[in-house]
Structure 1
Amino acid sequence: MAEPTVLAEAPETPPAQARPKWYRRPWIVPLFVIVGLFVAARLPGYLTFDTGDSLVDLQEAFPETHYLMLSGHILFGSIAIITCSMQVWPWLRQHHPKIHRISGRVYVFAGVVPSGLFALVVSILSVIGPAGKIGNVFLSLLWFAVTFAGLVAARRRRFQEHRRWMIRSFALCTSIVVNRVWLVIFLVALMPFLDGYYGGDMDALIEDAAVASIWISWVVNLMIAQWWLDRKPKRAKRVAPATKVAVGV
């Protein structure tokens, strides 16, 4: 007997997801704009070798040394934040892997290592109180740890693991930018307490706001990064069109 041809449903298959164009990732341009503006605002004051241009208070006992350490931290930190932003740019990673690898090495060895070492010294020299010093030291040590964990993972060709560690490194690196936002928020939030709790001492209020912003900036950034890594995005399914298959009778 002839075998009739009937329609049978092919199994569901996930859609082939085309990679979006670089300009369709809405966070790329704002990221580079914010990083560029931040570097342009912070770096020039530490290239003049004039302690009067420092944007933070210096140790009165040895202002030149403090300023020199700050200059090193900010110079290499600028390299770090620029190359780190390049590292998380998917288009660059996919289309120019060699540039991605080179910028990654620059990030680690010309950014994180020198900037982090200077940051440890600056944290100790800082005129802020012990709570602020400890917050900055923890940030520097964590930045070292997660970055080198990412480097080791890449050397072992564990690229998914490498990506996760470098997202954490990016979160810690960019916390310095977010720190300024938190500082403004805490200053506004504490201002009603100036005359009461602080007895009119504006310096004490500013220090408390600065300490709070030091801690919350990198802690919240790290929490957001971990949430991003642990999330389970929904994957759309597409039913394949019905196909003709021969069914024997």
Structure 2
Amino acid sequence: MKTSRGYVAWLAVSGLVCVAITIFAASAYVTLDMSQARPPLHGPVHYGLLVAHIFTGTVAVLAGVSQFWPGLRARHPRVHRVMGRVYFAAVLPSSLLGVVCAQLSLAGLASQAPLTVLSALWFISAVYGLRTARQRKFGEHRIWMIRGFALTSAAVTGRLWGLLLGALMPEGDGLLIFATANWLSFVVNLLVAEWWIGSRGYARTLPSAALRPSISSRSAQSSASVA
């Protein structure tokens, strides 16, 4: 599929935005100073789990952005594979840590529910993305990677939704804005991802199971050719 300059420019801008916001968000935890943590915490253990989740998530965003760069897979397949392994090695623990951190949230169900759903879907997408890559089902792998990165980038879009909702409702309830931003962060991303998969025709290029000859039919064809 031909890659237009507009598409490359859009990827470059969105990739830079993702990287910039992710690094800015993670910068508060580089010093390991618990007083700089943004959400309220139970204590040092909670902080340690949160830091591990944030830093593995940061690696996932940085590695994931590289996977969508045009030409990387074709021109540098080894780099593509290595960065893919880095992505999965970051997403799998970060998503599990996300589930744990969600349960520890002091904001209650308003925070726990969306973050738990997000983390669970993030883990599932990574499992399917890794499995389809190992099975060399690259069409399905591409689709799961798009879905997976839509969930990975929820850390970025969640902050943008929070800023937007806060600006639109300056007197609004902070917890409600926070919860709404968390839901929108990945629900909208997934809707856009499904639209993107459909508009680019990725699902239509998948091999149909109905078109694959069965073992019995192949055996019959072999027997006929021998006869």
Q: Structure 2: how far apart are the matches of 1:232 and 1:45? A: 38
Q: 1:136·1:214 contact (CA, 8 Å) conserved in 2?
A: yes
What is the match of residue 28 of structure 2?
45
- Greater radius of gyration (CA): 1
Q: 1:31·1:85 contact (CA, 8 Å) conserved in 2?
A: no
Q: 1:58·1:127 contact (CA, 8 Å) conserved in 2?
A: yes
Q: Structure 2: how far apart are the matches of 1:211 and 1:18? A: 40
SS at match of 1:191: coil
Q: Structure 1: how far apart are the matches of 2:2 and 2:118? A: 38
Q: Which among 41, 46, 63 is matched to residue 66 of structure 1?
A: 46
- Residue 128, structure 1, aligned to residue 107, structure 2: yes
Q: Which among 15, 25, 28 is matched to residue 32 of structure 1?
A: 15
**Structure whose residues are more often helix by fraction:** 2
Q: Structure 2: how far apart are the matches of 1:130 and 1:24? A: 39
Q: 1:24–1:133: structure 2 CA closer, same or farther, 3 Å change rule?
A: closer
What is the match of residue 117 of structure 2?
138
Q: 2:147·2:190 contact (CA, 8 Å) conserved in 1?
A: yes
Instruction: Read off the aligned partner of 1:93 and give its amino acid letter.
Output: R
Q: Structure 2: how far apart are the matches of 1:228 and 1:20? A: 15
Deviations along 1:179-201, whole A, 9 cap, x unmatched?
A: 11111222233335x5xxxxxxx
Sequence identity percentage? 33
Divergent runs of 4+, >2 A: 17-21, 188-192
Give RMSD over aligned pairs.
1.9
Q: Structure 2: how far apart are the matches of 1:19 and 1:210? A: 37
- Residue 230, structure 1, aligned to residue 198, structure 2: yes
Q: Structure 2: how far apart are the matches of 1:122 and 1:105? A: 24
Q: 1:46·1:70 contact (CA, 8 Å) conserved in 2?
A: no
Q: Structure 1: how far apart are the matches of 2:167 and 2:30? A: 31
TM-score (norm 1): 0.75
Unaligned runs of 5+ in 2: 202-227
Q: Structure 2: how far apart are the matches of 1:132 and 1:175? A: 14
Instruction: Read off the aligned partner of 2:20 and give its amino acid letter.
Output: L
What is the match of residue 180 of structure 2?
212
Larger mean Cα displacement after TM superposition, 114-123 or 167-176 = 114-123
SS at match of 2:9: coil
Q: 2:26·2:58 contact (CA, 8 Å) conserved in 1?
A: yes
What is the match of residue 140 of structure 2?
161
What is the match of residue 215 of structure 2?
none
Q: Structure 2: how far apart are the matches of 1:222 and 1:71? A: 26
Superposed displacement of residue 213, structure 1:
0.5
- Residue 99, structure 1, aligned to residue 62, structure 2: no
Instruction: Read off the aligned partner of 2:12 and give its amino acid letter.
Output: V
Equivalent pairs, count: 201
Instruction: Read off the aligned partner of 2:129 and give its amino acid letter.
Output: G
Deviations along 1:192-212, whole A, 9 cap, x unmatched?
A: 5x5xxxxxxxxxx11100000
- Residue 119, structure 1, aligned to residue 98, structure 2: yes
Unaligned runs of 5+ in 1: 1-16, 195-204, 234-249
